[in-house]
């Protein structure tokens, strides 16, 4: 039995990277997964590999259940349609993972206002609109989980436990500001819906994850970069926040490695291996 048997999960930004990893992991745990992004077919994105078609196929090849819904999270009509198409495919959404994100890596002095607004629309307004769309069904059923993906950049250069990874990052101001807003929204929404049994939590990778995007922008040396956090950290942390009891996780703004250690889903080392105790499941 999986931790998400019988559940419906909607995951944004799932054509590659962290979103794809979470979608595949949730499917292994029994969820019926709805994956969303703007890139449907391989090659549609001019710069990066990955597509919703690829994610869905890999889930189905592994025996899981998945459906793709193309959409732009910065648009309210698209957000509402994603949720409606998820319901039409599998039923009301039990778990929403707001993973889609955008940054242009431009210093403030050069940042076009249109791109700033666009990035905030994806990173903050999208999670707001999608949360608003799934909440009525969650409130009616008195259960559900919303998991938001943040960044260590939200706390500002030199202020967190991972300064070498955040200091001097060119063009990170907008991204950090939008992720700080997402973290505050998480805390406020968690308080608003606590009485309805709905978890709202947020977490970040401690040292970044090697993805197609971070490699393209020079933030990772390769997809196997040993200095980056293993994808399994992010996928297991999302699963933990979506499935642990409400009172243990709602309102949390945390790091993947920290929450996994706290709940005993990780060994006592530096996190290069994941061991979910008592489950017979492990992944590196």
Domains of the chain with CATH codes: 8-283 (3.40.50.720)
Residue 219: its pLDDT value, please? Answer: 64
Residue 166: its pLDDT value, please? Answer: 44
With cut-offs at 50, 70 and 90, classify the pLDDT of residue 156: confident
Rounded Cα distance between 213 and 232, Å, is 17
Residue 194 falls in the annotated catalytic set: no
- For 209, which DSSP code? B
Does residue 275 have a pLDDT over 80?
A: no
SS3 at position 282: strand
Q: Which is more confidently placed, 236 or 215?
A: 236
Rounded Cα distance between 51 and 57, Å, is 10
Annotated catalytic residue within 90, 175, 203, 255: 175
This prediction's pTM: 0.87
Instruction: For 28-53, write each residue's pLDDT tens digit.
Output: 999 999 999 987 666 565 566 568 99
Does residue 163 have a pLDDT over 70?
A: no
Residue 48: its pLDDT value, please? Answer: 62
The rounded percent of the chain whose pLDDT value lies above 90 is 67
Instruction: For 70-122, write each residue's pLDDT tens digit.
Output: 999 999 999 999 999 999 999 999 999 999 999 888 899 999 999 999 999 99
Residue 266: its pLDDT value, please? Answer: 79
Average pLDDT value over all residues in the chain: 85
Rounded Cα distance between 63 and 257, Å, is 28
Contact between residue 74 and residue 125 where contact means Cβ atoms under 8 Å apart:
yes
Residue 169: its pLDDT value, please? Answer: 54
With cut-offs at 50, 70 and 90, classify the pLDDT of residue 16: confident
Going by C-beta distance under 8 Å and a sequence separation of 6 or more, which residues neighbour residue 141? 92
Lowest mean pLDDT among 15-24, 49-58, 143-152: 49-58
Count the neighbouring beta carbons within 10 Å of the beta carbon of residue 156: 14
Rounded Cα distance between 78 and 99, Å, is 16
Count the neighbouring beta carbons within 10 Å of the beta carbon of residue 275: 17
Does residue 7 have a pLDDT over 50?
A: yes
Residue 51: its pLDDT value, please? Answer: 86
């Amino acid at each position: 039995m999986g931790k998400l048997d019988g559940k419906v999960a909607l995951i944004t930004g799932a054509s590659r990277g962290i979103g794809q990893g979470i979608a595949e992991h949730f499917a292994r745990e029994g969820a019926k997964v709805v994956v969303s992004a703007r890139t449907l077919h391989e090659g549609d994105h001019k710069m990066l590999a990955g597509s919703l078609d690829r994610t869905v196929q890999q889930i189905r090849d592994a025996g899981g259940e998945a459906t793709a819904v193309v959409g732009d999270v910065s648009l309210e009509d698209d957000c509402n349609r994603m949720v409606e198409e998820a319901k039409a495919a599998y039923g009301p959404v039990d778990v929403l993972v707001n993973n889609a994100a955008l940054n242009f890596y431009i210093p403030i002095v050069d940042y076009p206002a249109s791109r700033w607004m666009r990035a905030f629309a994806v990173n903050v307004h999208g999670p707001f609109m999608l949360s608003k769309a799934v909440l009525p069904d969650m409130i009616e059923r008195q259960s559900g989980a919303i998991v938001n993906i943040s960044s260590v950049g939200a706390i500002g250069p030199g202020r967190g436990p991972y300064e070498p990874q955040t200091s001097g990052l060119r063009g990170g101001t907008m991204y950090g500001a939008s992720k700080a807003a997402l973290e505050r929204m998480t805390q406020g929404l968690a308080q608003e819906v606590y009485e309805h049994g709905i978890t709202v939590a947020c977490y970040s990778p401690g040292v970044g994850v090697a993805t197609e995007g971070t490699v393209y922008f020079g933030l990772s040396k390769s997809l196997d970069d040993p200095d980056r956090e293993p994808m399994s950290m992010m996928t297991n942390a999302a699963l933990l926040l979506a499935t642990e009891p409400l009172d243990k996780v709602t309102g949390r703004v945390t790091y993947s490695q920290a929450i996994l250690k706290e709940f005993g889903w990780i060994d006592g080392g530096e996190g290069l291996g994941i061991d979910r105790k008592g489950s017979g499941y492990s992944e590196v």
